[in-house]
Structure 1
């Protein structure tokens, strides 16, 4: 049997197992280990799984994962995120679409706290959505804003998904995080610009707050400003030493976790329940990601041994004569297709052993490609008919918002994100300038 046929058989078996409802790491790890045993026998097969486990245990930057997840849960469970929205409510409510703009700002800061798009979606749906609907905002506008804003969670540091990509692609986590900052802020700015234009054309989509609601004493406004900017101060305390080279990435993650814990403690919100929920959630998510990384490393080792990447590159570039950019675009389209029924980590683990080495062989920068991957998967999340975020939004939205409303809400934001993706593909320095500047300084 040829190596190409073995690779196709491995992928088809894995997809079949996923369709039966098996856990991602279980399906991928099982296929990797069974393939290794069949190809190289007892000694070689066992060595691949053991080697992947040892590689995972020795990867020092992995310590950042529980630190950042704990920081995010502490800030969310202690309701510090609520202060953010109160700040935006008071300071921006006087503009048409001001609360929607504030929601995008909330999502950016939530992303900087947690690094998971699901967390941004949950906080936006529970805090922002009821307030926006109560004040007469259009249903389609607000559901689109929350879904689009939550997409920033896996792009703005500390992105947990980029940690996973870094491990699989063998790239520095710090450079990937820095590469995500400018594209993330650019996308947030494009969302805000879209809201401003739409609400100026049709003010009924996002009415301004009444004069009575805006009549808040300046002392109260300043108090809310201080409370709302606390998460930003925590993020700065964590990232400034790292960017200046005073601390390593792991040390900065520990600073972030300790600063968030201290802030919740000083505000009197670090109860036993908040601490227990934060620790349990951190342990659960960290273990899930470690199992996924372990399975991905084992699967990738089998592909390396088969030489499948080189065979597929030869197929695309020599036999089919495709341009490297055409191949890259086809990869992005496949992510959008897979995103209709898989989440971002599953997509990465399934195709990373094939795509990441192929991208390097084609001459593209793997840091830049990590940013493209995150944006493309978030577009896939929100693409009808089966986008992951669409059904997550339906589960969290009140009964008056139908699935049809949610489908209709997301199309303009998908177009904005597609434009952002095209800009970053055309101008890679948007993603690469900051890590190049910091690491070459």
Structure 2
């Protein structure tokens, strides 16, 4: 059987097994090992899985993963993130749409602590959304604000998704995090501009805080809230400044961040044994899930490399279809958007990365830049019906008064804003590549 047919059979089998509802890493790893045994015998198949396990365990930067996840859960479970929202409520409330703008800023800061979108969604849906609705903010706008803002968690460092991409694409995770920072902040600014313009044109969408309520907050209380709310930002600075200055390595900085968050929560009386147990269990669950996914992806990619499936895809795109390098890149991004209607970001990455990463390299595009493009595309796919990941997270966490139809309608303008952001990064690669070139010349 031709190798390209075997590759197509592997891909089709994987999609078919996924329909059974099995876990993603089990499906991908099972197909990879069965294909390896079929192609190279018992010894070859066993050696493949063992070799990928050793490769994964030897990747030292992976130690950052549980540290950053633990730090994010400590901030969330100990309610330190609540202080941030109270600060934004007082300081941005007088501006039309100010609380929605503050919610975007809250999401950026939470993203810088956790690296996952689910933390921002949980905080936004349980803390910010009820407050925004109580203050007569437009339901459609604020529902979209929380979904769009929480999606920044997979782009703003320390993004866990970029750690996974770094492993598969064999790129430095520090370079990818640096590349994701400016585009992530750019998207946040675009969201804020959209909110400000909408509320400027129609103040009823985001009414300013009642002056009488604001008058009850003394100047001292405002500055105390500012100090308390900026504490998570101080934790991030304590973690990242020594790393940027070269005093610590990435893993050491991650440990500093986790210990700092734990110390602050203890000092403020927010940490209990029950909360610590919850944070530890959730960290272990998420970390193990990502380890299994990375292991399965490495095994699947090794088989694809052995089959030279990349040559087949290259021949299909470039020789048979006659597409140019930019047309191929756009087609790849469109495929991510389509898959995002049914799969989450990690599933998309481990399915197509063994094919797409070598093609991007062959087309002479920068792999760091492409990692940012992939992540932004995943953010858009997160909010794309019918099965966007953030849509169902929002439905699960939002109050009952927010319907699924309203959740679908709310994301339309924000998807448009994100497509503009994606186009800017594609048209001007230095948006993503400037900071890595400065920090890592």
TM-score normalised by length of structure 2: 0.99
The CA RMSD over aligned residues, in Å, is 0.8
Aligned to 1:196: 196
Aligned to 1:146: 146
Deviation at 1:269, TM superposition (A): 1.1
Could you tell me how far apart the structure 1 residues matched to 2:170 and 2:38 are? 27
Provide Cα deviations, 1:72-92, integer angstroms capped at 9, x if missing partner.
111111100000000000000
Could you tell me how far apart the structure 2 residues matched to 1:395 and 1:281 are? 18
Deviation at 1:229, TM superposition (A): 0.3
Deviating above 4 A after TM superposition, structure 1's stretches of 4 or more consecutive aligned residues are: none
Could you tell me how far apart the structure 2 residues matched to 1:277 and 1:113 are? 17
Deviation at 1:315, TM superposition (A): 2.0
Alignment map for 1:152-191 (pairs within 5 Å): 152-191=152-191
Deviation at 1:385, TM superposition (A): 2.3
Aligned to 1:114: 114
TM-score normalised by length of structure 1: 0.99
Aligned to 2:407: 406
Could you tell me how far apart the structure 2 residues matched to 1:20 and 1:332 are? 27
Aligned to 1:247: 248
Provide Cα deviations, 1:274-316, integer angstroms capped at 9, x if missing partner.
1101111111110000000000000000011111112211221
SS in 2 for 1:21: coil
SS in 2 for 1:16: helix
Aligned to 2:257: 256
Could you tell me how far apart the structure 2 residues matched to 1:401 and 1:255 are? 40
Alignment map for 1:14-93 (pairs within 5 Å): 14-93=14-93
Deviation at 1:187, TM superposition (A): 0.2
Aligned to 2:365: 364
Alignment map for 1:270-419 (pairs within 5 Å): 270-419=271-420
Q: Which sections of structure 2, spanning at least 5 residues, go unmatched?
A: none
Deviation at 1:245, TM superposition (A): 1.4
- Residues 1:219 and 2:227 aligned together: no
Deviation at 1:193, TM superposition (A): 0.1
Could you tell me how far apart the structure 2 residues matched to 1:343 and 1:24 are? 10
Aligned to 2:208: 208
Paired positions, count: 440
Could you tell me how far apart the structure 2 residues matched to 1:412 and 1:217 are? 37
Could you tell me how far apart the structure 1 residues matched to 2:379 and 2:320 are? 32
Q: Which sections of structure 1, spanning at least 5 residues, go unmatched?
A: none
Deviation at 1:202, TM superposition (A): 0.5
Could you tell me how far apart the structure 1 residues matched to 2:196 and 2:190 are? 10
- Residues 1:433 and 2:437 aligned together: no
Provide Cα deviations, 1:161-189, integer angstroms capped at 9, x if missing partner.
11111111111010000001000000000
Could you tell me how far apart the structure 1 residues matched to 2:358 and 2:278 are? 39
